[in-house]
Amino acid sequence: MFDQFKTMGALAGLMKNKDRLHEMGEELKARLADVRATGEAGGGVVRVVASGDFQIVEVKLNEAAASASDDRSREMLQDLIAEASNEALRRARALAQGEVARMADELGLPGMPGLTGLLE
């Protein structure tokens, strides 16, 4: 119960300093844009990199995959790209949740319920 009062006090303090809160929000956005998470599929045939703000920033195909010419190979490659993309985004979400938790700690709000849920 004491922790809840402590958290409420920290929140009240933050609301008084809206400029600092805005600054921290912008800092979080910048941190997330710099975070990188990689997903692979097909034993490395496809590699996708996502940022912490959930943008796909890179897709790499190995040489054999890049030269796929028949319909079946292209369909399989498309599935691998989707799989690698989803893995990269899952990892990016986990990294972003870590950044949000660190920011909450910096703001004096450790373990604040709901903050990491913002990224789900």
Kindly state the tokens that stand for 3: 């922790």
Report yes or no on 5 lying in a domain.
no
Number of domains forming the structure of the chain = 1
Report yes or no on 29 lying in a domain.
no
Report yes or no on 18 lying in a domain.
no
Phi, psi values for residue 36, rounded to 5°: -125, 135
Contact 41, 80 (CB under 8 A): yes
Question: Do β-strands 46-51 and 56-61 pair in parallel, antiparallel, or remain unpaired?
Answer: antiparallel
Domain span at residue 104 reads: 35-108
Report yes or no on 3 lying in a domain.
no
CATH of the domain at 44: 3.30.1310.10
Report yes or no on 113 lying in a domain.
no
| pTM of structure | 0.72
CA distance between the termini of the chain: 27
pLDDT by position in tens, the chain (length 120): 556 666 666 666 666 777 777 888 898 899 899 999 999 999 999 999 999 999 999 999 998 888 877 888 889 999 999 999 999 999 999 999 998 888 878 777 766 555 555 555
